[in-house]
Amino acid sequence: MQGLFSALPPMEKGSVWLVGAGPGDPGLLTLHAVNALQQADVVVHDALVNSECLSLARPGALLEFAGKRGGKPSHKQRDISLRLVELARAGHRVLRLKGGDPFVFGRGGEEALTLIEHGIPFRIVPGITAGIGGLAYAGIPVTHREVNHAVTFLTGHDSSGLVPDRIDWEGIARGSPVIVMYMAMKHIGQIAANLIAGGRSPDEPVAFVCNAATAGQQVLETTLSRAEADVEAAGIEPPAIVVVGEVVRLRASLDWIGALTEGRRLAPDPFGAREMKDPA
């Protein structure tokens, strides 16, 4: 194992690595991410980075919190970006560790552009985004050949904290069989109404996956018309990934965590005794 890491790139002093930590489970960290954790002088991390991932930082590394959470006091994005510049200019090897993937609703592009503006060398290390990995831990695939050949990823709020008005909700409702939403729980009532107004069935399956890929993972299955009321009744809270579409029904067959830890019996035909053809 040591030989494997010796073949990976070194972190240079005065540089910044923008690294995705995945959705939660430290086993989903990439080798590049672990390599960075073992070298960094300073780890500037998000609120969504699992503490087990941070425990892999080298002894003596400074762990600096720079999280942003909707509705709670948070660091301003420009201040976070300039802090990375400050740390790099002080000669540190800086790891900016983000939950999921830095380039999927992670503001990684904004931070990289600030580094370029100030002449700071950097590296991008992708991570497993929660909209794929988190759903997989809930037993929900984002694509399935009997259900969809397209998927849309979107954010449930913009920089103002409101539902984005630049999203073509009618177009997405008509054209995307599966919709995966980040940061959408707070506005799920309005979002569901937009999708139903655009033509989606009120009875379409919806799932909320909270604290995905962690020991505290919770999954709520509901429908578009019931989503807001069921979230309130269940008392679940962000962070959450929301998925809309028939792929949610596959959880009855693919909830592998439920089968392993709770003895859940998985259904061979999640679509209801329909003849399943052997795909080519």
Shared domain check, 153 and 111: no
Picking from 266, 269, 247, the residue whose alpha carbon sits closest to that of residue 255 is: 266
Q: Determine the average pLDDT of the residues in 89-100.
A: 98
Q: What is the pLDDT of residues 138-162, one digit of tens each?
A: 999 999 998 999 999 999 988 778 8
**Could you tell me if residue 267 is inside a domain?**
no
Give me the pLDDT at residue 60, please: 97
Checking if the pLDDT of 1 tops 60, the result is no
Q: Which of 11, 25, 41, 46 is catalytic?
A: 46
Q: What is the pLDDT of residues 17-35, one digit of tens each?
A: 999 999 999 999 999 999 9
Question: For the chain, what is the mean pLDDT?
Answer: 93
Q: Determine the average pLDDT of the residues in 73-85.
A: 89
Shared domain check, 154 and 103: no
**Could you tell me if residue 100 is inside a domain?**
yes
Checking if the pLDDT of 222 tops 60, the result is yes
Shared domain check, 65 and 150: no
Shared domain check, 143 and 124: no
Checking if the pLDDT of 95 tops 70, the result is yes
Shared domain check, 240 and 188: yes
**Could you tell me if residue 277 is inside a domain?**
no
Kindly report the CATH number assigned to the domain that includes residue 216.
3.30.950.10
Q: Determine the average pLDDT of the residues in 188-197.
A: 97
**Is residue 270 very low, low, confident or very high in pLDDT (cuts 50, 70, 90)?**
confident
Last residue of a domain, one of 101, 128, 155: 128
Shared domain check, 124 and 1: yes
Shared domain check, 124 and 61: yes
Total structural domains in the chain? 2
Compute CA 253 distance to the chain's CA centroid, rounded to the nearest angstrom. Answer: 23
Kindly report the CATH number assigned to the domain that includes residue 108.
3.40.1010.10
Shared domain check, 29 and 109: yes
185 is catalytic: no
**Could you tell me if residue 212 is inside a domain?**
yes
**Could you tell me if residue 276 is inside a domain?**
no
Give me the pLDDT at residue 274, please: 54
Q: Which of 11, 41, 98, 183 is catalytic?
A: 183
**Is residue 69 very low, low, confident or very high in pLDDT (cuts 50, 70, 90)?**
low
Shared domain check, 105 and 159: no
Strands (E), the chain: 16-20, 42-45, 62-65, 94-98, 122-125, 151-155, 178-182, 205-210, 218-223, 240-244
- Cα-based distances in Å from 16 to 11, 88, 122, 203: 8, 7, 5, 47
Last residue of a domain, one of 68, 96, 128: 128
Shared domain check, 124 and 3: yes
Checking if the pLDDT of 276 tops 50, the result is no
Give me the pLDDT at residue 278, please: 46
Give me the pLDDT at residue 260, please: 95
Question: Mean pLDDT lowest for which of 69-73, 109-113, 158-162, 182-186?
Answer: 69-73
Q: Determine the average pLDDT of the residues in 46-63.
A: 96
Give me the pLDDT at residue 157, please: 87
**Could you tell me if residue 275 is inside a domain?**
no
pTM of the shown model: 0.92
Shared domain check, 139 and 109: no
Shared domain check, 59 and 84: yes
- Looking only at the bridges linking them, the beta strands covering 178-182 and 205-210 are unpaired
Last residue of a domain, one of 78, 112, 128: 128
**Could you tell me if residue 268 is inside a domain?**
no
**Could you tell me if residue 269 is inside a domain?**
no
68 is catalytic: yes
Q: Determine the average pLDDT of the residues in 48-56.
A: 95
Q: What is the pLDDT of residues 227-249, one digit of tens each?
A: 999 999 999 999 999 999 999 99
Domain that holds residue 193: 131-262
Other Cβ atoms closer than 10 A to 125: 24
